[in-house]
Every structure is written in C-alpha cells, then in structure tokens.
C-alpha cells in the first residue's frame, strides 16, 4: 500500500495566456494556448511523487483520449493508478484557464467524469484508505464522496489533508474529521463568512474553524507564507518572494509537499516550510503539472535562498 493516497480530481487543462482579462462582452487576442493534464487531485498527487513520495491516486477519467493521456502520464511519474476508474458516462473533466500578465488566473471546471465517481466507488477501495498513512483530498469531486471519505478516515484513524477548493460551505460533521485544512485566504473567507483582509482577521477566521473541530488549520498566504493554527497557538511560517508568472497549481503543490513531509516524519512547521518552497517554485513556471518541481530542484532552491 502507498504511504500517501490522493482521492481526487483529474482534468485536461486548456490554458490561454493574455495581457489582461476580457471585460464582459469583450473579445481580445490571446498570446498562447497550452493543453496539459491537471486537476487539483492530480496536481497534488504528482507534486508528492516528484518529491520522492510513495503515492497512489484514486479517481475517475473518461473513456477518451484525454483520459488515456492522463493515465499514461501517471504511469510515467511512478504513481500507482490501480484504482483509477474509467467511465463511459461522461468525458474526462476539462478546465478552462485564463492567465493574465500579473499571473492571476480565472478557472472554469466542467466536472464530467470527476462527478461520476460515487460513494459506492469509494467503498470499493476502503482497504486502500485503511492502510495508507495519509489521505489528501479536495472539493472537485462530489461533496457526498468527500464526506464519506472523511468518515472512513475517522474510522480507520488515518490523517486527512483537505484542500477546500473550490470553496463551498462545509458542515461541522465534515470539518470535525479533518486533520489538516489548507485554505487560501479566499477559501478561508468562504468557509467562515469572516473578512480576511488583515492578519488578525485571518487568525480570527482560522480560530472559527478550530472551534468547529478542525485539528490544524494551515492558511496559505502567498509569498507571505502560511498561518499555522491549532490548539497550541498560531504562527506564520515565512514564505519566499519570487517573480510569479503563473499561480495555477501553487496551492496544489503546497498540499502535495505538505503530505510528503508529514509522512516522512517532519514537524508541521518543517512540513509547511518545505511546502512554501515548493509553492514558490511552482509559480515561476507555466502550467500545472509541468510546473511541479523535483526533490533535487527544491533542495537547490532552498540552498540558494540561504546563500542570498
């Protein structure tokens, strides 16, 4: 059994770069179009694998060319896909991504095969969940599947990282079963209904989630790092200042790295420090999976930062 099991989404990303986003009703000329495998779950899985993680992916693709391309990629990356299902009911999920010159992005995901994956499909791999060391999940699959996954993690005493993206309100029942919740600032606001324009407000929002039963809240703050919050207190773990060109998969790479470091026995602060470095490298490159760094690249980056 793999040490890290990612239960989550696949997509084929169609990315268009442009100087600025079009206004409503406006047509503009773009710069470049890229087609690459992605999806939050897939990104997180390969992020952990490239850092040397022993990783398995659970999810669903369509019976089409995009699904075959994705599965071939995972095999080449050394990820176990024995429990990746293929459906004839829907095509592989597509994500439409716009990126402007400031590296900001706008994304639309058409769920397709990701939403065909059911609670019954999840129950068929209960033994995989029971025997892994860490489960990583997101919200690009059906919410009932994520709720059942959290319950299985509770039953089997397996720690769960939940990246609450795309953000939707979550029940206390689900939150109370999450070991590590990793929202960005926008997601933190959606989950709590609380403003997050200052660090004090971010800390207040994190405390609201702790009060609802989350064991650890790790709020990602871009180049400012990440807020680590749990019953013992709160601390900002410093990030890295880099020139971002594409922020797609920054959070996903953070979550993959966090999982890898934690199963390796790092403290939470150490794991967040590594994840901050991986996220910083990711935003300096185009694409989702193509931007994810290897273990050697991360070690070189951290060493160079120390020299500077």
Residue numbers annotated as active site: 252
Cβ-in-10-Å burial (0-12, 13-18, 19+) of 247 comes to: middle
| Measured CA distances, 141 to 26, 106, 109, 111, 119 (Å) | 32, 19, 11, 8, 11
Q: Are 130 and 156 in contact (CB under 8 A)?
A: yes
Which pair of tokens denotes residue 230?
Answer: 């749990």
Tell me the CA end-to-end span of the chain in Å, nearest whole number.
Answer: 41
Sequence-distant (≥ 6) Cβ neighbours of residue 44 within 8 angstroms? 6, 8, 136, 138, 163, 252, 253, 255, 256, 259
Rounded CA separation 235/226 (Å): 8
**β pairing state of 94-99 and 160-162:** unpaired
Structure tokens, 1? 């059994």
CA–CA dist 127, 129 (Å, integer)? 5
The alpha helices in the chain, defined as continuous H runs, are: 40-50, 65-76, 113-116, 119-123, 126-130, 143-156, 172-175, 185-192, 199-211, 250-263, 268-282, 295-307
Going from the C-alpha of 83 to that of each of 29, 66, 154, the distances in angstroms are 41, 18, 21
Q: Helices 268-282 and 295-307: crossing angle, nearest 10°? A: 100
Which residues, 6 or more positions from 21, have their beta carbon under 8 angstroms from its beta carbon?
Answer: 98, 100, 104, 106
């Amino acid at each position: 059994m793999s040490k890290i099991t990612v239960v989550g989404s696949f997509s084929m990303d169609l990315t268009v770069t442009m100087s600025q986003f079009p206004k409503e009703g406006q047509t503009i000329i773009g710069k470049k179009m890229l087609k690459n495998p992605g999806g939050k779950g897939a990104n997180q899985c390969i992020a952990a694998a490239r850092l040397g993680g022993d990783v398995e992916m659970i999810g669903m693709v369509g019976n089409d060319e995009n699904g075959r391309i994705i599965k071939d990629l995972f095999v080449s990356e050394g990820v176990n896909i024995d429990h990746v299902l293929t459906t004839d009911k829907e095509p592989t999920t597509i994500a439409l991504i716009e990126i402007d010159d400031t590296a900001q992005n706008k994304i639309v995901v058409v769920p397709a095969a990701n939403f065909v994956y059911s609670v019954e499909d999840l129950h068929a791999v209960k033994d995989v969940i029971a025997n892994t060391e860490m489960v990583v999940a997101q919200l690009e699959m059906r919410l009932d599947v994520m709720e059942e996954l959290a319950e299985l993690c509770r039953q089997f005493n397996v720690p769960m990282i939940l990246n609450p993206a795309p953000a939707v309100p979550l029940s206390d029942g689900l939150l109370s079963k999450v070991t590590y919740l990793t929202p960005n600032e926008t997601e933190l606001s959606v989950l709590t209904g609380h403003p997050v324009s200052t660090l004090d407000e971010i800390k207040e929002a994190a405390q609201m989630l702790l009060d609802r039963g989350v064991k650890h809240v790790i709020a990602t703050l871009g180049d400012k790092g990440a807020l680590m919050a749990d019953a013992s207190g709160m601390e900002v773990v410093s990030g890295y200042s880099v020139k971002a060109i594409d922020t797609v998969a920054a959070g996903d790479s953070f979550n993959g790295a966090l999982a890898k470091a934690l199963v390796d026995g790092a403290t939470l602060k150490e794991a967040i420090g590594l994840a901050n470095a991986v996220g910083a490298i990711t935003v300096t490159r185009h694409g989702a999976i193509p931007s994810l760094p290897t273990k050697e690249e991360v070690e070189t980056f951290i060493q160079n930062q120390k020299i500077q």
